[in-house]
Structure 1
Amino acid sequence: MYGLVGATAVLTLLSYPYIFLTVRGSIVNLDPATEEASRGLGYGSWRTFFRVTLPQLKPSIAAGSLLVALYTLSEFGAVALLRYNTFTFAIYQQYEGSIDRSVAAVLSFVLVLMAVVILLLENYTRGRGRYFRSGAGSARKPAIVKLGRWKWAVMTAMGIVLMLALVLPISVLVFWLLRGIGAGEPLLLLWSATRNSLLVSGAAALVTAGMAIAMAVLLVRYPTKLNRILEPISFTGYALPGVVVALALVFFGAQYARPIYQTHWLLIFAYAVLFFPVALGSVRSALMQISPRLEDAARCLGHNPLRVVMRVTLPLMRSGVMMGAALVFLLTMKELPATLILGPLGFKTLATSVWAASSEAFFAQAAAPALMIILMSSVPMTLLVLREKSNLA
């Protein structure tokens, strides 16, 4: 499991939710009338999926794939543990073991160039197609399709993924925890770290979601040459390792923003820089499925642009916004390098607690905060699933 094979397997299991959640948010907003019209013209289920449904999901698939590609470029912990040398690992070694930081700066610049290439490819793949209803009609809930004989095959495939990505890691953590308790190992008190993690993760999710809404409206509803330049620039922060962004903000805070240096505000700003593309991809995909005619109608009724966004646009793109905020919350809960470097003195989160214990090989003490991260991260996703189920009922 070491090297390329192990890193690929682990990163695949770790990052597939980025595409899953983004595409899921788009599927919820799909208009079932388009599929019904396709079948009324004689197309079967498979042909309708490939010719009608799949093209409408192209923005969300491209956005999710972009997040996976950028996340893979910036990942450090998994590839380092699995002994696979990447740009991020080389940058970390240069920062830790060399006084001259020019080599690390050059490697970081190459990493940014690779991210820009990926962004250009995603922009070309997305194209200029329209993904909203162009004719009259009313929104309806999608009909549930029975899988029939394919039910058990699909359930088996889902079970394998859940086993490898969720059950197996949790089982190992529980084993470490019980083994430590049986050996008399003291467990870390997690109340303070849990509170800190929830506060900064929630604040980062709200700030980043607000920024993503503003940027998505600007990019989708007011496309200009300047906006097309700003879009790839906004995504490059996700390709940078957290240690690079954190050290850059340390220099900025110490030199130009001393009132917020070593405060929660600078830490939350770092989270927004790192995870803004996550929220933007989901929010933009949801906005692209909304017809601008609805907003034009609201303006004709006398509403100003801000009121149109608050009363018409935001309610329609609510699922995409909530998915984006949930993804930011999940990523912030487990973010480590920026928290270690930019956090206030004595500020501990669940992620830093795991790092402190595991770096000393105290795996029993690391298991408790790791399990708490999983528990806390599951709360927003559970609420979203229950809310959507109640809406579909």
Structure 2
Amino acid sequence: MTLGQRERSRLAYPLVTLPALIVALVSLIPLGFVVIVTVQTGWDQVVALVFRGRVGDLLVNTALLEAATVPLTIVLAVTLAWLTERTDLPFARLWAWFAVVPLAVPAFVHSYAWISLVPGLKGLGGGVLVSVLAYFPFLYLPVAAQLRRLDPAIEDAAASLGLSPWRVFLRAVLPQLRVAICGGSLLVGLHLLAEYGLFVMIRFDTFSTAIVDQFQSAFNGPAANMLSGVLVLCCLALLGTEALARGGERYARVGSGAPRMVTRHALGGWVWPALALNLATAALAIGVPFTTLTRWLAIGGLEIWPLQTVGNAVIQTIFLAVMGGMLTTIVAAPMAWLSVRAPGRLQRVLEACHYYVGSLPGVVVALALVTITVRLVLPLYQTFATLLLAYGLLFLPRALVALRASIAQAPVELERAAMALGRAPLQAVRVTTMRLAAPGAAASTALVALGITNELTATLMLSPTGVETLATKFWSLTSEIDYVAAAPYALMMVLLSLPLTLVLHRQSSRASGSAA
């Protein structure tokens, strides 16, 4: 490559850095909102609003919820992953699919199903039960994928030292799953902080439910803003805890390991308890929602299917999901390209700004945009532009991860060759790298669309008048205790989410070197 070609190649970096910088600054809006509102409120009022009994109760609820749900989710997910990936469990592939399918059912639909089945289910116990069943796939997927990648020679070496199978698992396998467990646990913990609909139905107070209540009663009063600030601190504490738990140990190794099939452990007499665990999990996490939906649909018959209303909700949901998915993927593209082609200190800072916003609950992002639009740009309040901006902020990390992996597989030499043939830097990137990354962009759009399809809190607070998605229409009907009329909307959400969920499972299997 000539000196002139190198100079032309470097021209692409500032041209791509500028939009990435703009997106990073926009992503700081929610955090900036919390800081500015705190300063404007004044220290005395902040102390009065934060250090009060109500906030203490919410902190206790949050701590108990996280402390009970996350360990139970880890135990369940790791056990199921071990049984389906490393034992001779009958129909292992079928049970693996059943362990992923609950992702297609929104968490608030899980609670709707359980409340329909057990009307007295409420409080911390009910919240923990439904949360574990709704969120354990977030841990199962990375743990199962990591188990497929492990070198079986490590286990053989441990066994040759006289360790029992149980001690082999604890000392040789479990430490190698730490990164996957910590990452999945972080996702579960963040979802617990952000979830609204599930805990409202279970009648368990969390920061998200309290913020929405304050917003609906006082329209963005100081109390809601301060609760948002405390919730952000909870998110940051959770991120710090995950980083400490993950540690700094090195888990990678040189070489690809032993090129042989993993020897599955014989369950022997434990096969029946193992089958019972998988069957019970599938029955509770899949059977209960689908049985409940079938029951309500049968009771309502054709009368609960107002085609125009359901059709409008489906069309609006698909429109927002597709538009939000495409726009989020587009704005994530500059950062994805920079993270692969120009790694460095500035790139890491910009990338951190892109990622952090995905850890914030939707209620915080929505409240920030409500405040800003009402105070500064009132014409944008409750418009499609503001709603799509909220979706972009919430799901930016999903788009970035999928797109970055695809760009990394496109050789940089193709960009240089295109520029050597006279293409402008950005045009060279577009016709080579971005064209090769099209499958990754499609996967990115699908992942974001899946999130938007099931998103509730930000949509409730920001959607324009007259716009009703499947989630918001379902929520309005369940708020009126009209569970029969809500069933079609729940079913349509599941049907839209199920194909994307199964694709996600297949991609996870392929990425770990195992066909699903």
1:188 to 306, 331, 334: 306
- Tell me what 2:179 maps to: 59
- Tell me what 1:355 maps to: 475
In 1: Cα distance, 2:191 partner to 2:367 partner: 19
1:239 to 360, 368, 373: 360
C-alpha contact (below 8 Å) 2:139/2:180 kept by paired residues: yes
In 1: Cα distance, 2:393 partner to 2:263 partner: 39
In 1: Cα distance, 2:261 partner to 2:379 partner: 51
In 2: Cα distance, 1:162 partner to 1:23 partner: 18
1:35 to 2:35 alignment: no
2:348 to 189, 202, 227: 227
- Tell me what 1:291 maps to: none
C-alpha contact (below 8 Å) 1:119/1:232 kept by paired residues: no
Secondary structure at the aligned position of 2:391 is classed as: helix
Cα displacement string for residues 330-365 of structure 1 (whole angstroms, at most 9, x for unaligned residues): 432221222233334433321122123223333222
In 1: Cα distance, 2:433 partner to 2:415 partner: 10
Cα displacement string for residues 188-214 of structure 1 (whole angstroms, at most 9, x for unaligned residues): 322332233234334545555673994
- Tell me what 1:373 maps to: 493
Structure 1: segments with no counterpart, 5+ residues: 288-293
Question: What is the deviation of 1:121?
Answer: 1.4
1:79 to 2:199 alignment: yes
- Tell me what 1:174 maps to: 294
Change (3 A) 1:51 1:199: farther
- Tell me what 2:10 maps to: none
C-alpha contact (below 8 Å) 1:71/1:239 kept by paired residues: no
In 2: Cα distance, 1:147 partner to 1:268 partner: 51
Question: What is the deviation of 1:379?
Answer: 1.0
Change (3 A) 1:206 1:364: same
Change (3 A) 1:357 1:140: farther
In 2: Cα distance, 1:21 partner to 1:147 partner: 23
Change (3 A) 1:73 1:215: farther
Secondary structure at the aligned position of 1:171 is classed as: helix
Question: What is the deviation of 1:326?
Answer: 6.1
C-alpha contact (below 8 Å) 1:35/1:48 kept by paired residues: no
Change (3 A) 1:69 1:49: same
C-alpha contact (below 8 Å) 2:155/2:172 kept by paired residues: yes
153-162 vs 247-256, which moves further: 247-256
Change (3 A) 1:234 1:166: same
Question: Partner letter of residue 360 of structure 1?
Answer: E
- Tell me what 1:392 maps to: 515
Change (3 A) 1:229 1:314: closer
C-alpha contact (below 8 Å) 2:296/2:483 kept by paired residues: yes
1:4 to 2:120 alignment: no
Question: Partner letter of residue 355 of structure 2?
Answer: S
Secondary structure at the aligned position of 1:57 is classed as: helix
Question: What is the deviation of 1:371?
Answer: 1.1
In 1: Cα distance, 2:329 partner to 2:257 partner: 28
In 1: Cα distance, 2:289 partner to 2:457 partner: 22
- Tell me what 2:453 maps to: 333
2:264 to 145, 163, 170: 145
Secondary structure at the aligned position of 1:128 is classed as: coil
- Tell me what 2:225 maps to: 105
Question: What is the deviation of 1:368?
Answer: 0.7
Cα displacement string for residues 99-148 of structure 1 (whole angstroms, at most 9, x for unaligned residues): 6711111111011111111111112222334444423x599686473544
- Tell me what 2:189 maps to: 69
Question: What is the deviation of 1:63?
Answer: 1.6
In 2: Cα distance, 1:161 partner to 1:228 partner: 41
How many percent of aligned residue pairs carry the same amino acid?
A: 31
Question: What is the deviation of 1:175?
Answer: 1.2
C-alpha contact (below 8 Å) 2:122/2:204 kept by paired residues: yes
Change (3 A) 1:279 1:66: farther
Change (3 A) 1:227 1:209: same
Secondary structure at the aligned position of 1:172 is classed as: helix
Normalised TM-score (structure 1): 0.75
In 2: Cα distance, 1:163 partner to 1:258 partner: 48
- Tell me what 1:163 maps to: 283
In 2: Cα distance, 1:265 partner to 1:188 partner: 29
Change (3 A) 1:38 1:212: farther
C-alpha contact (below 8 Å) 2:328/2:396 kept by paired residues: yes
Secondary structure at the aligned position of 1:60 is classed as: helix
198-207 vs 10-19, which moves further: 198-207
C-alpha contact (below 8 Å) 1:358/1:366 kept by paired residues: yes
C-alpha contact (below 8 Å) 2:194/2:363 kept by paired residues: no
In 1: Cα distance, 2:213 partner to 2:267 partner: 54
Normalised TM-score (structure 2): 0.59
C-alpha contact (below 8 Å) 1:334/1:351 kept by paired residues: yes
Q: CA RMSD in A?
A: 4.4
In 1: Cα distance, 2:245 partner to 2:349 partner: 15
Question: Partner letter of residue 305 of structure 2?
Answer: L
Question: Partner letter of residue 306 of structure 2?
Answer: L
- Tell me what 2:463 maps to: 343
In 2: Cα distance, 1:55 partner to 1:228 partner: 30
